[in-house]
Amino acid sequence: MEKLALEDFTKYKFISNTKFSPDGKNLAFVVSEMDVDENKYLSNIWLYNVDNKTINKLTTFNQESSYLWLDNENIIFSTVREEKDKKRKEKGEPFTIYYIINIKGGEAQKYFELPFFASDIEPISKDKFVVTGIYDPKYKNLESLSKEEKEKELDKLKEEKDYEVLDEIPFWSNGRGFTNKKRNRLYIYTLKDKKITPITDELTNVEGFKLNKGKDLMLFISNTFKDKMEIRSDLYLYDLKKESFEKLTHEDPFNYVYADFLKEKIIFLGSNMKEYGINENPKFYLMDLQTKEVKQIQTDFDYSTWSSVGSDCRYGSNSEFKVEDDYLYFETTEYGNSFINRIDEKGKREKLTTQSGSVDGFDVFKDRIIFVGMRDVKLQELYELAGNEERQLTTFNEWIMKEKTLSKPERITFLGKGEIEIEGWVMKPVNFEENKKYPAILDIHGGPKTVYGGDVFFHEMQYWANEGYVVMFCNPRGSDGRGDEFADIRGKYGTIDYEDIMDFVDKVLEKFSFIDENRIGVTGGSYGGYMTNWVIGHTDRFKAAVSQRSIANWISKFGTTDIGYYFVEDQQAATPWSDYEKLWFHSPMKYADNVKTPTLFIHSEEDYRCWLAEGLQMFTSLKYNGVESKLVMFRGENHELSRSGKPKHRVRRLKEITAWFDNYLK
């Protein structure tokens, strides 16, 4: 077997967007891979036939990832294929073109076009659709113009690209750029007459919608704001026949996570955020459609309803909820794993998957469940759940297990401060020798309300293990999977979480004598980047550090990032006016004059979540105080560089990090 190479991740296959056909006989899903030469991702729709258990590739143009089943044999998907349409796109014209393809064969044909960037779409009938799309007031009259008038207007708008006018917060969003006055708007589109009818107004942002089985009623979750977006949302019922609204919001403020029709009722989940803030785990509720009476079900539930298990080997979007027959199916994160669950209208919850690892999305048809999973330190594959047994359906990434050397993480637990159990893992170097001393890398996860798992494939960790490093990682207080109280570190950043991480390192060194305690590095991204900055300002035990997409100064973060003004107030329990000193106390930059650790900073120019200014401030502070440091900035990238950045940029990032550690730890 060969060592896992740095570039091997450019050959991985990533699975996403699983959807059963209406009759359940076929499952469509998307497979994505990297094209390093073109520096982009290629995505195609595949089909799994449930009866004969065959898997076939449906599309081949390498740009099909957003789709829906129109009926049992036809799929529509959005793409830009023709040269004239590519030129329109280059000129900046907003539109979405849908093609239709029959799963039994034949070429895809143009089906219809929408004059905006569409996101979600569902058929009411073959002639009518519900769709959400980006409403931008700059383009609001574009569809009514002739071709010549449209080109003139686009030329005018091209000149406006040199300016940004901001009059609300947030004014930008990571991965989306400047978003001022842009909203995800809800529309009805009629194919026959190409009529587009907006359902929501110009200030309302729609977060999701669901149709009932009869397709005459629609639920949607939205947030209407002007000047400042608050963390709250509303629930609406829309009668498609009467074309009328009814506001169902039962408590204000409330953050609705998901809502759908369950039999003759509405099941929804969310939180009023009163006890644990914006990251509070959601609760389940049932609403009577007639009386609008609301009652909470599953009162003892205390998990997040999504998978927060970290990995750098995913691409594409996946469903985390599905109402089927008498149940709502959903995911939970519990310790370092995620599972599929279901709940009925009485609040009875069942955990359907029990194997450790990660569930990265699923779909359900009657009693059949197919999901994307990471199992036994393997990359993503499709699995079917039959009773309590899981059956692997695909082998896209099996070559890794057969051809490459990997390290299996070893789980360790210990009682930290306050007799609280802390969970972590240690990966031995590949080709480990008992009497040899090894350098080590401590990897700190982002979030902070996410988790690491021991059965999930993490490329950078596996690569470092193949390069002769011990890799260690843990889930300190603040992490997901253990309930609200464990995750709640509001106003405590850099205190109890720092203690847990340092105690974890102590326990690892105590248990594994083959680690050279004089050659340990530390790294992490986002919250992990914040903690890396914090760690080097509070201890000299690490001989090198790599801080990625980090936070240095909570005061500057408050006023610059897409989530800053509400995230900082919630998580640090202060604003620059209510308690300036508290924000400065929790800011790593305050302690930068204590730093002795050589540190590399990795940042993306378009990271609006942990803006470039955060890395620049910490880098400048270290340089000013004479500490060996370097900053590598990636143009055209955002907060997701390590997970979905351009292939060449992801290669360069990992090369920079590894070279830094090699220089100081080997």
pLDDT tens digits along 286-338? 999 999 999 999 888 999 999 999 999 999 999 899 999 999 999 999 999 99
- Domain, as residue range, for 495: 406-665
Q: What is the mean pLDDT of the chain?
A: 96
Q: Among 413, 664, 380, which residue's Cα sits nearest to residue 540? A: 664
Distance CA 34, CA 14 (A): 9
Closest to 568 in 3D by CA, of 577, 555, 578, 581 = 555
Residue 396: per-residue pLDDT: 98
Segment 270-298, tens digit of pLDDT:
999 999 999 999 999 999 999 999 999 98
**Reading across the β-sheet that carries 234-239, which strands appear in turn?**
204-211, 217-224, 234-239, 244-247
d(CA 260, CA 380): 28
pLDDT digits (tens, 9 = 90+) for 528-557: 999 999 999 999 999 999 999 999 999 999
Letter for the amino acid at 112?
Answer: F
SS3 at position 165: coil
In a domain, 27, yes or no: no
54 vs 44: CA distance, rounded Å: 17
Q: How does DSSP assign 242-262, residue by residue?
A: TTEEEE---SSS-EEEEEEEE
pLDDT of residue 213: 94
Task: Kindly state whether residue 25 falls inside one of the protein's structural domains.
Answer: no
C-beta of residue 486 within 8 angstroms of C-beta of residue 477:
yes
- What is d(CA 341, CA 352) in angstroms, rounded to the nearest whole number? 5
Is residue 542 in some structural domain? yes
Return the structure tokens found at 395.
């082998």
pLDDT digits (tens, 9 = 90+) for 50-95: 999 999 999 999 999 999 999 999 999 999 999 999 999 998 899 9
Q: Please choose, from the candidates 423, 501, 408, the residue with its C-alpha nearest in 3D space to the C-alpha of residue 456.
A: 408
Give me the amino acid identity at 425: W
Three-state SS string over 349-405 comes to: EEECCCCCCEEEEEEEECCEEEEEEECCCECCEEEEEECCEEEECCCCCHHHHHHEE
Determine contact, residues 265/343, Cβ cutoff 8 Å: no
- Rg, C-alpha atoms of the chain: 25
pLDDT tens-digit readout, 26-47: 999 999 999 999 999 999 999 9
> Is residue 443 included in any domain, yes or no?
yes
Over residues 126-175, the pLDDT tens digits come to 899 999 999 999 887 777 777 777 778 787 888 878 899 999 999 999 99
Cβ burial of 342 (10 Å; 0-12, 13-18, 19+) is: buried
How many residues comprise the chain?
A: 666
Residue 492 resides in a domain:
yes
Domain assignment of residue 163, yes or no: yes
Number of domains in the chain: 2
Domain containing residue 628: CATH number: 3.40.50.1820
pLDDT tens for 253-267 read 999 999 999 999 999
Note the pLDDT tens digit of each residue in 352-370: 999 999 999 999 999 899 9
Q: What average pLDDT does this structure show over 105-116?
A: 94
Query: If you average pLDDT over residues 375-380, what whole number do you get?
Result: 97
Q: How far is CA 627 from CA 408, 441, 624, in A?
A: 36, 20, 8
> Which structure tokens are listed for 578?
């209510």
245-248: which pairs have CB atoms within 8 A and are 24 or more residues apart?
248/219, 248/287, 248/292
Q: Is residue 38 part of a domain?
A: no
578 close to 513: Cβ distance less than 8 angstroms:
no
What's the pLDDT score for residue 175?
A: 95
Distance of CA 250 to the CA centre of its chain: 28
Domain endpoint, select from 181, 213, 236: 181
3-state secondary structure of 499: helix
- What is the rounded distance in angstroms from the CA atom of residue 264 to the CA atom of residue 274? 30
- Tell me whether residue 484 is in a domain: yes
Q: What is the pLDDT of residues 427-447, one digit of tens each?
A: 999 999 999 999 999 999 999
Contact by Cβ (8 Å): 443, 461: yes
**653 forms bridges with which residues in the sheet?**
none
3 state DSSP class of 601 = strand
CA–CA gap between residue 517 and residue 542 (Å, rounded) = 9
Strand partners, 365: 368
The pLDDT score that the predictor gives to residue 30 is 98
The one-character DSSP state at 418 is G
